[in-house]
Structure 1
Amino acid sequence: MDGSFTLTLQIVITTLAGISAQVLAELIKVPSIVFLLLFGILLGSDGLNILHPHELGVGLEVLVSLAVAIILFEGGLNLELRDLGRVSGSLRNLVTIGTLLTLLGGGMAAHWLSEFPWSIAFLYAALVVVTGPTVISPLLKQVEVDRQVATLLEGEGVLIDPVGAILAVVVLDTILNSDAFPLEIVSGLGLRLGIGAAIGALGGWLLGLTLKKASFLSEELKGLVVLAGVWGLFGLAQTIRSESGLMATVVSGIVLRASSIPEERMLRRFKGQLTVLGVSVLFILLAADLSIASIFALGWGSVLTVLVLMLVIRPISVLLCTWNSTMNWRQKLFIAWVAPKGIVSASVASLFAFLLTQQGINGGEAIKALVFLTIMMTVFIQGLSARWVAQWLKITSSEATGAVIVGCNELGRLMGRLFQEEGESVVAIDTDPEACQKAREDNLRVFESSGLDHDVLEEAGLESIGTFLALTSNGEVNLVLSQRAVEEFNPPRVLAIFPQNPKTNLTASKTNKAKVNPAFITQLPIKQWNQYLKDGQVKLGRTLLKVEGLSFQIAHLQALIRSGELVPLLVRRKDRLTVVKAGEEWQAEDEISYLLHDPRPQLLKRLSGGTQASRLALEKLPEVEEIPIASNVAESTVEQMTQSIQ
């Protein structure tokens, strides 16, 4: 009873520590593996001596195997084949040529610098060819680099994990059976990959078919059916050929994602939660089982080995593997810098250390220590610096410019011209032939199609454009368009004009959480403002908010917005142009472009020497003048505050 309680307490403490590390990492915005490693070491025998993972015995190996299966399946489930198509050549090269280069380079570095025997050196190199989706995915969520870079890094992390694990098994088999021929080694690798891929593809297809046809299953039960199916496929593949189960789980996830099942979002959420739990528990246990003394015993040669892996081998590998890609040097440099190792390296290294010790072969603990040193250095150096490197290279998604505007009505065309006059690329989309023709006359690039068409959005370049703006006259359509854009392309800034009825406003509020923001002001009557533009009853103005009298300017601006006389359109802040969000918090030095309603009849305008403002706004944007928002309440009339554009 005491023994079972002790083991129970170990699992409870491990889970609490793991989830606490995840929460702390989320709060501070750093990779969770940083705190998982620290907490694990702190609770282990070299710290507070609370956790003793070796007491789990063979149970630790079982936990590692099942958790890694779920982690890799979830990685495959998150891979989008259409995205992979854009980086397929580079990804294929990284998984094949890159793996070979890392194996050879890492092996030589470990032999010459760490003074490992050749066999043990190449076993270490095989363990660190992987990059690890459990580290890459959270890292990319925090850094938010552009889509092409993120897709390549995520794809590499997921696909190279089973390849690396199988490669490590092949190298281990070679060490344990030193009389094996090279042909046997290569055939063993190919056989494991082939069996795993075949079982995973068939199993993923059957799982997708089951979820589509079995309408009697509840959503909660479907998630558990998939969990049981994944473990079943993993066990079947492992039974047929050892270590082929990892490839089976990855391929089954990719195939299930491609099956377009209705419950895909629910499954991804459920499997994501299981992955977080699995990673949290495993990293705490594996780190607690680590001997700090064994890491220090490695010496400076091992530190140099890891640095060579990070600063020489990885950059050379990325340079060769992306030679013919369309990525620029900034993107390639970031990919070369970011290659942190994760749970697969740690778990397989821990398992191999045990197996080598069982066989009476020296070097098991040294390999485990060097692998963990590699994880620590890559995570702490590359992981913690990734945000600053991305910002320095200017490849964060927030740096992306340009706009895709759905809706070629008067307001949509005006926004397109405003972006163009600021030197940013614009693509307009609409189904109305007449509206599209008017947009072409304004020199906008136009697609006469639905904004829900994935191929059109892809051709419009939404994967690399900074702003998606839905400005059709139908608010419900705007919400659907925006939500689809977030789900399929996830651009940095997604804005839409929401409808005004209470039911839809509730929907809009929920959609905001999915990264969709209301454009300009809340509940903008877009049909009314389109009519103002058509009738020329507007003035286009631009103003700079100054530090002196800022509070008066902001109050006055907000008063005009509330009265329905003014609509802010764009704001330039710190040299970055963005569409104004409803409820925007204004700051000093903001330069605001806005529309002001001017209800004077057109005849009076002509008699007074004025011109049609909406036409001028479209034709002579370079002549837009700075029109100061009054900082004195006495200047609150429209005529005192603005000038028409001459």
Structure 2
Amino acid sequence: MDSGLDTTLLLIVTVAAGIAAQVLASWAKLPGIVFLLLTGLLLGPDGLNWVQPEQLGEGLETLVSLSVALILFEGGLSLDLRNLLQVSGSLRNLITLGAGITILGGAIAAHRFSEFPWPLAFLYGAIVVVTGPTVTTPLLRQVQADPKVSTLLEGEGVLIDPIGAIVAVVVLNFVLSGSQDVGLVLEGLILRLVVGAIAGSVGGGLLALFLRQVRFLSEELRTLVVLAALWAIFGAAQAVVSEAGLLAVVIAGLLLRAVAIPDLEAIKTFKGQLTTLAISILFVLLAADLSIASLFALGWGGPLTVLALMLLVRPLSIGLCTWGSDLNWAQKAFLSWIAPRGIISASVASLFAILLTDRGLAGGAAIKAQVFLTILMTVFLQGLSAKTVAKKLGVLDRPEQIVLVGDDLELRLLAILLEQNKQPHQAIATVPEEPDWESESITLLLGRDQSTPAEQTGLTVVDLCPLDDRAHLYSTQISADLWQQRLQEQRCELFQIELSDRQAVQQWQQALEADRILPLLHQRGEGWELALLPAVAETGDRFWGLSRDRQLALDEIEWQDWPADWSSSPEPPRSQPEDAVELAPPDAATPSS
């Protein structure tokens, strides 16, 4: 059969099998990597022999490099710098001190249990530094963990990937050269970090400037420009020094997210779809290239090495890196348990195995087998137990209680909405001096004229949301007064909406910016929160809120009947014409009960 046709069939089977595995994982509500690895092993030479990655030759390395660049860029694009700043100290420690602890601990475990010689043991430790956003991020979305924990794990997964890959390449060069000069290792590491930082900053900055200034591009063309640019940034950094491109694309993604470029949501959606496709292809190909015999050849030393990494090295790293932080013991325990390895570890191990074999050095197959065993064990043990562990430790991102303080009309309506959706809440007139809350996790919404210092609540965790903080609630003072008057005089409409696609998200943001809606309650997945602070909406979000009238141009809006006990007035709410004259006297700012 023609070699070109063989390659075509190989890619067709790989894509079809990878997507089928993702669909099955979504149906079973399990991490996709579990089914992707099993699919690759089943279709590989040790299984049905339908997928033979060696047919791609050097094309496999090219495919891996471009896909990894795309995955890391998408990871950087998904990170919010504002959230990262809240855990910046612990995050900094994890990608520096934590990386060193993992390299050293992994090397000791591999040398002690798997009997790797020290050079290969340190190479293994360097490869498993990365935790992998391709596994961690979907896992956290499924678990709905505490925001601080999720931010720290996502930030670590994205930022440690390029750093870990760079460290692994430097260690590999050290092993291949046979040099004993540790200074060369540090020099290679610093050079790649500096080149990557400069290329990512310059390239990402120029791309952001271009996207903000050029208005004639369509949404589809804009996303393709970003794709071409990220690979150009990656290639430019790689041309200067190998592996510098990994850090460059992460920084470029962070910059684009930070400057809020046009059509950011569309770009994130497009890159997310490409990333899912890339992960599906790579995991199947790399798993198919793994020899099952090499896994069994590790003996009991292989699993013992991974268990030492999970149960000893990771908790030690988390304990030291979060020392003195405001994280409690339960959050630290969850962080210690969740560190699954993903596509970066698999791709780096596969490439290193080829390089070691080409240089005539033994150990390439053993390194690859040990890394894949690490991926399998961490994903199965940690991924399948993550939600149960989070529940037991109490680190789920669902406030145990929402407390509404005051008798403002907004609070009364919120209480009704929460009751209708069976969400735990409490409505009180004032906060007692010594409150007896049922939970330590409280969202406390203070009505107007309510002043309660956080230290008087006696809570470990309190999210204070003052209703009269108009700098956050409304765009202007006039806007605040108008909404209060509309609600008091029942000249607005109650609605709910689910943002099912990208167009709905854009329509929602436009309505917010035009001050046509006031969101009250927000549901994302299984998590609920008060939506009085307008946030960036995402596909799949559900909102309850108020509209000025029923002329709102939102495709999937559902108008709601006002609750029967909402007002003592027998008159139902009536919408006014768009050009109605509205006055907002000072005393209208505080509606009566």
TM superposition score normalised by structure 1: 0.73
Aligned residue identity for 2:561: Q
Query: What is the match of residue 125 of structure 1?
Result: 125
Aligned residue identity for 1:7: T
Query: What is the match of residue 185 of structure 2?
Result: 185
Query: What is the match of residue 195 of structure 2?
Result: 195
Query: What is the match of residue 523 of structure 1?
Result: 561
Quote how far apart the aligned CAs of 1:449 are: 2.3
Query: What is the match of residue 66 of structure 1?
Result: 66
Say which is worse superposed, 365-374 or 317-326, in terms of deviation. Answer: 317-326
**More RCO (CA 8 Å, sep 6+):** 2
Corresponding residue SS for 2:466 = strand
Quote how far apart the aligned CAs of 1:485 are: 5.1
Give yes or no for contact 1:131–1:341 (8 Å, CA) kept in 2.
yes
User: Matched residues, percent identical?
Assistant: 50
1:449 aligns with 2:498: no
1:104 aligns with 2:116: no
Query: What is the match of residue 382 of structure 1?
Result: 382
Structure-2 separation of matches of 1:523 and 1:162: 52
Quote how far apart the aligned CAs of 1:454 are: 10
Q: CA RMSD in A?
A: 3.3
1:418 aligns with 2:427: yes
Query: What is the match of residue 479 of structure 1?
Result: 519
Aligned residue identity for 2:449: Q
Gaps of 5+ in 1: 430-434, 456-470, 513-517, 538-562, 565-613, 619-646
Residues 224/403 of structure 1: CA separation in 2 closer, same or farther (3 Å cut): farther
Give yes or no for contact 1:497–1:524 (8 Å, CA) kept in 2.
no
Residues 386/417 of structure 1: CA separation in 2 closer, same or farther (3 Å cut): closer
Structure-1 separation of matches of 2:223 and 2:213: 15
Query: What is the match of residue 328 of structure 2?
Result: 328
Corresponding residue SS for 1:418 = strand
Structure-2 separation of matches of 1:318 and 1:28: 31
Query: What is the match of residue 288 of structure 1?
Result: 288
Quote how far apart the aligned CAs of 1:302 are: 1.3
Query: What is the match of residue 248 of structure 1?
Result: 248
1:496 aligns with 2:544: yes
Quote how far apart the aligned CAs of 1:48 are: 0.8
Quote how far apart the aligned CAs of 1:479 are: 3.4
Residues 102/414 of structure 1: CA separation in 2 closer, same or farther (3 Å cut): closer
Quote how far apart the aligned CAs of 1:391 are: 1.1
String of CA shifts for 1:203-247, please: whole Å, max 9, x gaps: 111111111111111110111101000000100000001110100
Give yes or no for contact 1:159–1:250 (8 Å, CA) kept in 2.
yes
Structure-2 separation of matches of 1:404 and 1:418: 5
Query: What is the match of residue 578 of structure 1?
Result: none
Corresponding residue SS for 1:402 = strand
Aligned residue identity for 2:26: E
Give yes or no for contact 2:520–2:543 (8 Å, CA) kept in 1.
no
Residues 358/142 of structure 1: CA separation in 2 closer, same or farther (3 Å cut): same
Say which is worse superposed, 399-408 or 209-218, in terms of deviation. Answer: 399-408
Structure-1 separation of matches of 2:407 and 2:147: 25
Counterpart pick for 2:554 among 507, 521, 533: 507
Quote how far apart the aligned CAs of 1:529 are: 2.6
Aligned residue identity for 2:341: K
Structure-2 separation of matches of 1:345 and 1:446: 46
Give yes or no for contact 2:166–2:192 (8 Å, CA) kept in 1.
yes
Quote how far apart the aligned CAs of 1:178 are: 1.7
Give yes or no for contact 1:192–1:242 (8 Å, CA) kept in 2.
yes
Q: 1:301-340 counterparts in 2 under 5 A?
A: 301-340=301-340
TM superposition score normalised by structure 2: 0.79
String of CA shifts for 1:310-335, please: whole Å, max 9, x gaps: 00000110011111111111111111
Corresponding residue SS for 2:360 = coil
Whose Rg is larger?
1
String of CA shifts for 1:364-390, please: whole Å, max 9, x gaps: 010000000000000000011101111
Structure-2 separation of matches of 1:454 and 1:96: 41
String of CA shifts for 1:565-616, please: whole Å, max 9, x gaps: xxxxxxxxxxxxxxxxxxxxxxxxxxxxxxxxxxxxxxxxxxxxxxxxx99x
Corresponding residue SS for 1:437 = coil
Aligned residue identity for 1:529: W
Query: What is the match of residue 12 of structure 2?
Result: 12
Aligned residue identity for 2:362: N
String of CA shifts for 1:57-80, please: whole Å, max 9, x gaps: 000000000000000000000010
Structure-1 separation of matches of 2:87 and 2:354: 38
Quote how far apart the aligned CAs of 1:437 are: 2.3
Corresponding residue SS for 1:389 = helix
Structure-1 separation of matches of 2:119 and 2:202: 36
Quote how far apart the aligned CAs of 1:497 are: 3.8
Query: What is the match of residue 449 of structure 2?
Result: 437
Structure-1 separation of matches of 2:474 and 2:110: 47
Structure-1 separation of matches of 2:518 and 2:472: 10
Structure-2 separation of matches of 1:451 and 1:524: 28
Structure-1 separation of matches of 2:411 and 2:161: 49
Quote how far apart the aligned CAs of 1:398 are: 2.9
Give yes or no for contact 1:40–1:285 (8 Å, CA) kept in 2.
yes
Aligned residue identity for 1:247: L
Structure-1 separation of matches of 2:218 and 2:76: 24
Structure-2 separation of matches of 1:406 and 1:500: 24
Structure-2 separation of matches of 1:262 and 1:352: 40
Quote how far apart the aligned CAs of 1:496 are: 2.8
Structure-2 separation of matches of 1:437 and 1:35: 56
Aligned residue identity for 2:382: Q
Quote how far apart the aligned CAs of 1:25 are: 1.1
Quote how far apart the aligned CAs of 1:46 are: 1.1
Residues 135/405 of structure 1: CA separation in 2 closer, same or farther (3 Å cut): farther
Quote how far apart the aligned CAs of 1:405 are: 8.8
Query: What is the match of residue 54 of structure 2?
Result: 54
Residues 297/445 of structure 1: CA separation in 2 closer, same or farther (3 Å cut): closer
Structure-2 separation of matches of 1:208 and 1:243: 23
Query: What is the match of residue 580 of structure 1?
Result: none
Give yes or no for contact 1:135–1:342 (8 Å, CA) kept in 2.
yes
